[in-house]
C-alpha cells in the first residue's frame, strides 16, 4: 500500500462543488482492534446528501471521506485482531459503536482504503459480489429490520410503500414480495413505476397526479371500524410531513404504520382519532444490525433477492453519483468501485 490514496473528500458543508476526488489523501494505518480494508465497492445513501449539506446539531469533523456503505478485502490487520486475516472478504456495518457513523464522524467508504473496527465486520459469502454487498447496509438493512426482524408483514397482506423508488423503498418492495404480500408502490414517475412493477410490485401509484391514500380507499374499500373490511394492512412511511394523516386514513382496522425516518419532516400534523378508532399500530424501526446484514447476504447467496443497483461508477464519477441521489433520478442504489 502506498502512503496516499484516491478518495472523495468533503472539505466543507455546502453542495457538490465542495466534494473533490483527490489522489493524495493519507492511506489509513491499521491500529489496535482495527483493520484496513481495500474497498472494492461503496454505495451512496440520501444520508450522504445530508452530510454534504450539513445537518443542524451534528458537528462533522472535516475534512471527511463520505460514504456509509462499503465492502472489500482486508488489506492489513491491526494488533489485537484475532478473528480476521488479510484477504478476508467483508461487509462493513457503518455504525462504529465508539465514534458514530462512517462517512460522517469518521472516514467512510468512498476511497481506495478504509479503516474499520474489527467488530464492524460481517463475513461475506463467496456467492455475493462486492457491489451487491455494498448496496445493503443502510437501505436494505433498514428495510430488513422493519419488515422481517420485527415480523410486521405477512403473506397475503396489502402493503403500501411510500417513496418506493429509493434505496429503502426498493428494499421494502423486494422484501414485502418475498414475504408474499400484495405490494402497492408509490413513486413520482411512470418510468419509476414501470421499474418497480418489474421488481414485483403489484400496483403502481404516481403520487404526482394521484392521491395515493384515496386510491387505496377506492381500490380496497373504506376502512371499517366494526369489521376488518377495507383499507390496506401496512403503510411504510419514512417520509413524514404531509403524508402522515393520509397514511392513517387508508389503513384498515388493526393496520400497521411502519416508520424508520422522516425525510419530509419529523413533526407532522397528527389525527389521533384514526389511531384509536381503527386500533392502529405505529411501529418504529431504527437502524440495522449485523444479523440483518448477514441474513440479507444469505438471501442473495440463495438467489432469493437481488439488490437494485441503478448505476456502478468509478471513483472519478462519484460526485455525479451523489447528484443522481440528491436529484432522485435513480431506482435503487448508486454503487462506486474505488
For residue range 70-104, what is the model confidence (pLDDT) as tens digits? 999 999 999 999 999 999 999 999 999 999 999 99
Grid cell locating 174: 423486494
The Cα angle at residue 189 between residues 185 and 191, in degrees rounded to 5? 90
Query: Residues of the chain with pLDDT > 90: what percent?
Result: 96
pLDDT at 197: 97
- Average pLDDT of the chain? 96
Question: Under a CB-based contact definition with an 8 Å cutoff, are residues 99 and 119 in contact?
Answer: no
pTM value is 0.94
Domain 4-137+288-337 part of CATH 3.90.180.10: yes
Query: Residues of the chain with pLDDT > 70: what percent?
Result: 100
For residue range 221-280, what is the model confidence (pLDDT) as tens digits? 999 999 999 999 999 999 999 999 999 999 999 999 999 999 889 999 999 999 999 999
Question: Which element (helix H / strand E) includes 48?
Answer: helix 46-53
CATH 3.90.180.10 domain locations along the chain: 4-137+288-337
What are the CB-based long-range contacts (under 8 Å, 24+) for 210-219? 211/246, 212/160, 212/162, 212/184, 212/186, 212/246, 212/250, 213/246, 213/247, 213/249, 213/250, 214/250, 216/158, 216/160, 216/184, 216/250, 217/249, 217/250
Domain 151-284 part of CATH 3.40.50.720: yes
pLDDT at 281 over 90: yes
Question: Under a CB-based contact definition with an 8 Å cutoff, are residues 261 and 237 in contact?
Answer: no
pLDDT at 55: 87
pLDDT at 263: 85
For residue range 35-77, what is the model confidence (pLDDT) as tens digits? 999 999 999 999 999 999 998 888 999 999 999 999 999 999 9
For residue range 150-209, what is the model confidence (pLDDT) as tens digits? 999 999 999 999 999 989 999 999 999 999 999 999 999 999 999 999 999 999 999 999
CATH 3.40.50.720 domain locations along the chain: 151-284
Across the range 14-36, mean pLDDT stands at 97
Closest CA to 94 of 117, 124, 68, 115: 68
pLDDT at 56: 86
Across the range 279-305, mean pLDDT stands at 97
pLDDT at 57: 86
User: 2: pLDDT confidence band, cut at 50, 70 and 90?
Assistant: confident
Amino acid at each position: 500500500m502506498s502512503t496516499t490514496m484516491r478518495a472523495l473528500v468533503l472539505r466543507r458543508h455546502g453542495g457538490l462543488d465542495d466534494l473533490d476526488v483527490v489522489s493524495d489523501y493519507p492511506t489509513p494505518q491499521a491500529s489496535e482492534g482495527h483493520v484496513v480494508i481495500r474497498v472494492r465497492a461503496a454505495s451512496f445513501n440520501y444520508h450522504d446528501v445530508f452530510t454534504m449539506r450539513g445537518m443542524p446539531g451534528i458537528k462533522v469533523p472535516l475534512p471527511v471521506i463520505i460514504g456509509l456503505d462499503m465492502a472489500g478485502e482486508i488489506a492489513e490487520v491491526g494488533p489485537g485482531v484475532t478473528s480476521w486475516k488479510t484477504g478476508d472478504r467483508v461487509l462493513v456495518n457503518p455504525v462504529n459503536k465508539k465514534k458514530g457513523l462512517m462517512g460522517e464522524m469518521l472516514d467512510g467508504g468512498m476511497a481506495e482504503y478504509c479503516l474499520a473496527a474489527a467488530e464492524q465486520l460481517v463475513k461475506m459469502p463467496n456467492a455475493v459480489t462486492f457491489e451487491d454487498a455494498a448496496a445493503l447496509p443502510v437501505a436494505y438493512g433498514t428495510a430488513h429490520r422493519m419488515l422481517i426482524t420485527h415480523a410486521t408483514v405477512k403473506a397475503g397482506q396489502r402493503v403500501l410503500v411510500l417513496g418506493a423508488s429509493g434505496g429503502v423503498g426498493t428494499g421494502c418492495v423486494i422484501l414485502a414480495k418475498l414475504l408474499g404480500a400484495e405490494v402497492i408502490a408509490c413513486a413520482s414517475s411512470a418510468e419509476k413505476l414501470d421499474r418497480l412493477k418489474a421488481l414485483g410490485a403489484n400496483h403502481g401509484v404516481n403520487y404526482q397526479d394521484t392521491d395515493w391514500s384515496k386510491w387505496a380507499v377506492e381500490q380496497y374499500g373504506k376502512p371499517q371500524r366494526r369489521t376488518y373490511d377495507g383499507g390496506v394492512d401496512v403503510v411504510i412511511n419514512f417520509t413524514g410531513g404531509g403524508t402522515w394523516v393520509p397514511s392513517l386514513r387508508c389503513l384498515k382496522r388493526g393496520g400497521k404504520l411502519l416508520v424508520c425516518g422522516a425525510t419530509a419532516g419529523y413533526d407532522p400534523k397528527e389525527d389521533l382519532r384514526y389511531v384509536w378508532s381503527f386500533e392502529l399500530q405505529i411501529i418504529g424501526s431504527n437502524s440495522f444490525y449485523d444479523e440483518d446484514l448477514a441474513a440479507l447476504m444469505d438471501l442473495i447467496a440463495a438467489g432469493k433477492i437481488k439488490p437494485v443497483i441503478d448505476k456502478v461508477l468509478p471513483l472519478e464519477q462519484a460526485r455525479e453519483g451523489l447528484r443522481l441521489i440528491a436529484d432522485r433520478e435513480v431506482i435503487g442504489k448508486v454503487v462506486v468501485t474505488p
